[in-house]
Amino acid sequence: MTEDALVKKIALEEHFLCPGFIEYWNPTVAEMPAEKRDNLLKRNTDFGEMRLASMDKAGITRAVLALAGPGVQAEKDAATAVRTAKAGNDFLAKEIQKRPDRYSGFAHLPMQDAKAAADELERCVKELKFCGAMINGHTLGQYLDHPSLAPFWERADALGTLIYIHPTDPVSVAPVLQGHPGLRRATWEWTFETGSHALRLIFGGVFDRYPKARVGLGHMGETLPYLLWRFDSRTGPDFYNVGLKKPVSHYIKNNLEITTSGMCSAEPLNCAIAALGVGRIMFGADYPFERAEEAGHWLDTEKLDENVRADIAYKNAERLLGLKV
Ligand code: MN
């Protein structure tokens, strides 16, 4: 297939790094061979030829850029987190200004301070024209259902902005994973951590209080689309009433929007389409941690109805995030 024949795409989980954030990122790649780590750093900090060439090969017309984690989610001093997040967002805005035809942005937020995070979200959406926010999992062990974050959810709900939860390392390694380093991080650990994080928002009543709140998940929904029936059956009135206004599946179907990041396979995609409807599924390549070309080629060639392919490739992102290819 020539590049002209590629389906145009908007990619949603595309990462970058900038000064001030590399120190936060380093521990996540500490066990990686130095050569691979250096290559990732080079790709994360490049906004020119290397990134654009990779996008072109994958048919990605527009990449929504977000800071590689954990960023200020790992910052112990709240005031530093607020200041550093702002600097990161300003840096990204400047890079987008150089290539507004190719790049958009997700805000990076200091969740240590709910009011400051809400203000920064609003500034990023209204002034910097970002199309949502990406939060790299828990912030120093505090998850997004924490009651102190009410002012943040109130604002996110009012703005109607997508809040994308990106995987991160858990607070501590679960006993069941100990002794098997191959199961850690992207293999399985992050899926459980991030899927559980989204479930905390549902079970914590966040979507009952803020019914318009929108949460994004990568990796085809971190297994949640597969489990709708079981969640409802285990929490329904006949079993154990968890005090929610609606069945658990209602929130998964109505408050979550998911991407294909790091999941180039039809089985979970078909499950997600059946569970959530095709209108809530968007493309993500997870550059530079995954091969954008592989993700693009997969979506170009997977056996799919052409309307479904176009919806996932760019039409849903245009509609849900107000983007243009
Ligand atoms: Mn990612």
Catalytic residue among 113, 157, 286, 311: 286
Centroid of ligand 1 to alpha carbon of 235 (angstroms): 31
Assess whether pLDDT exceeds 60 at residue 3: no
What's the whole-number mean pLDDT along residues 316-323?
A: 98
Give 309's pLDDT tier (boundaries 50, 70, 90): very high
Is the pLDDT reported for residue 239 higher than 80? no
Sheet with 214-217: strands ordered across: 133-135, 162-165, 214-217, 256-259, 281-282
For residue 250, pLDDT beyond 60: yes
Give residue 297's pLDDT: 97
Each residue's pLDDT tens digit, 183-219: 999 999 999 999 999 999 999 999 999 999 999 999 9
CA distance 49 to 258: 29
Exposed, middle or buried, 177 (CB in 10 Å: 0-12/13-18/19+)?
Answer: middle
Binned at pLDDT 50, 70 and 90, residue 1 comes out as very low
Q: Does residue 67 sit in helix, strand or coil?
A: strand
169-184 pLDDT, tens digit per residue, is: 999 999 999 999 999 9
Q: Is 90 a catalytic residue?
A: no
Distance 13 CA to ligand 1 centre (A): 6
Average pLDDT over residues 72-100: 98
pLDDT of 232 higher than 50: yes
Kindly state the helix (H) or strand (E) to which residue 308 belongs, with its residue range. Answer: helix 306-310
Residue 75 Ramachandran class (φ > 0 left, ψ -120 to 50 alpha, else beta): beta
231, 235, 238, 244 alpha-carbon torsion, rounded to 10°:
-130
Grade residue 277 by pLDDT with cuts at 50, 70 and 90.
very high
Cα 40 to ligand 1 centre (Å): 12
Query: By percentage, how much of the chain surpasses pLDDT 70?
Result: 98
**Separation CA 279–CA 185 (nearest Å):** 29
Distance 325 CA to ligand 1 centre (A): 21
- Give the global pTM: 0.97
Structure tokens at 272: 């997600």
- Average pLDDT score over residue span 42-46: 98
Express each pLDDT in 105-163 by its tens digit: 999 999 999 999 999 999 999 999 999 999 999 999 999 999 999 999 999 999 999 99
| CA–CA separation, 63 and 287 (whole Å) | 9
- d(CA 1, ligand 1 centre) in Å: 27
| pLDDT at residue 240 is higher than 90 | no
Q: What band does 4 get if pLDDT is binned at 50, 70 and 90?
A: low
Determine the 3-state secondary structure of 255 from DSSP.
coil
Instruction: Please report, rounded to a whole number, the percentage of residues in the chain having pLDDT higher than 90.
Output: 95
Geometric angle at alpha carbon 285, from 35 and 157, rounded to 5°: 120
Residue 220 Cα to ligand 1 middle (Å): 12
- Give long-range contacts, CB 8 A cutoff, 24+ apart: 78-81: 78/110, 78/112, 78/113, 78/116, 81/110, 81/112, 81/113
